[in-house]
Amino acid sequence: MKLMLKIWRQEGPGKKGALVAYPMDDVSPDMSFLELLDTLNEQLIGKGEVPVAFDHDCREGICGSCGFMISGEAHGPAKLTTTCQLFMRHFKDGDTIIAEPFRSRAFPIIKDLVVDRSSLDKIVQAGGFISARTGSSPDANAMLIPKNKADRAMDAAACIGCGACVAACPNGSAMLFTAAKISHLGLLPQGQPERHQRALRMVNKMDELGFGACSNHGECEAVCPKGITIDFIARMNRDYMRASTTETMEPVKRV
């Protein structure tokens, strides 16, 4: 395959960036998008040029590090797929592919395709914990949990924190991410003591960090590589509304 890659190049925060075109020949359909970037970087290094900076880690679709925009879509055109698991067979010979970093006020660009997603960590740190001591690992059936709730908690816990939902949302909202992180604890017995405090803290932190509000476009659900649905946002809103009228912001306890 022959492809034309147009990649956003930016030396650093506050620097002026631009799309730079790179023709790619002999592209294997079995390459992942990150392997394509690896090949490009080998060519650039061979020419004495600066390689393209991009995030990656596990390359197995479970860490969330690899996200960026591919031809206008977070993680690219394939559904339920991370960038590292997007293979070139999804494209046609001669295609032009544009790779850009996630665009969000809460995700400042560090370099090229790399953005600072530490704001997502700050949301989790604001309240995504439980104070109940769990001790050593209990037997799987020691605490009875209805299967439907266990399944829903696992659905929410599938969130890998890639930020695609934020990048796809026209408002730059992190509601789907925050709702997933709140719900996977709030659906389980161990998460009940701080359930409403957690919702209050995490949503307030999300607002503080400059994320936008949800207006039910549904783009977040459409691009989520783990298929997390906006039902969790509705659940979070219910918890937040209750917490807003019954809870006070207490100091976070670390145990």
HEC profile for the chain? CCEEEEEEECCCCCCCCEEEEEEECCCCCCCEHHHHHHHHHHHHHHCCCCCCCCCCCCCCCCCCCCCCEECCEECCCCCCCCHHHCEHHHCCCCCEEEEECCCECCECEEECCEECCHHHHHHHHCCCCCCCCCCCCCCCCCCCCCHHHHHHHHHHHCCCCCCHHHHHCCCCECHHHHHHHHHHHHCCHHHCCCHHHHHHHHHHHHHHCCCECCCCCCHHHHHCCCCCCCHHHHHHHHHHHHHHHHCCCCCCCCC
CA distance 36 to 76: 14
Average confidence (pLDDT) over 204-223: 96
Number of domains in the chain: 2
Domain housing 137: 117-246
Is the same domain home to 121 and 242?
A: yes
Q: 240 with 123, same domain?
A: yes
- 242, 142: one domain: yes
Domain-located, residue 253: no
- Domain match, 162 and 95 both: no
Work out the average pLDDT over 13-21: 96
Looking at residue 254, its pLDDT comes to 44
CATH code of the domain in which 192 resides: 1.10.1060.10
Token pair for residue 167? 């990048």
Name the band, by pLDDT with cuts 50, 70 and 90, for residue 143.
confident
The amino acid sitting at 3 is L
Do 133 and 204 reside in the same domain of the chain?
Answer: yes
Q: In this structure, are 122 and 79 located in the same domain? A: no
pLDDT of 138 above 70: no
DSSP lists the bridge partners of residue 8 as 19
The pTM is what?
0.92
Last residue of a domain, one of 111, 146, 172: 111
**Residue 70: beta bridge partners?**
73, 99
List CB contacts of 17: < 8 A, sequence separation 6 or more: 8, 9, 10, 11, 109
When pLDDT is averaged across residues 159-174 and rounded to a whole number, the result is: 97
Q: Do residues 167 and 188 share a domain?
A: yes
Residue range 29-42, pLDDT digits in tens: 999 999 999 999 99
Q: Is residue 156 part of a domain?
A: yes
Average pLDDT over residues 244-255: 64
Residues 192 and 232: beta-carbon distance below 8 Å: no
Query: 241 and 122 in one domain?
Result: yes
Which of 76-80, 101-105, 138-142 has the lowest average pLDDT?
138-142
pLDDT value at residue 134? 63
Give yes or no for residue 219 having a pLDDT over 80: yes
Side by side, the strands of the sheet bearing 18-24 are: 18-24, 3-9, 96-100, 69-70, 73-74
> Does residue 177 belong to any structural domain of this protein?
yes
- In degrees to the nearest 10, what's the CA dihedral of 224, 120, 213, 225? 0
Q: What is the pLDDT of residues 88-103, one digit of tens each?
A: 999 999 999 999 999 9
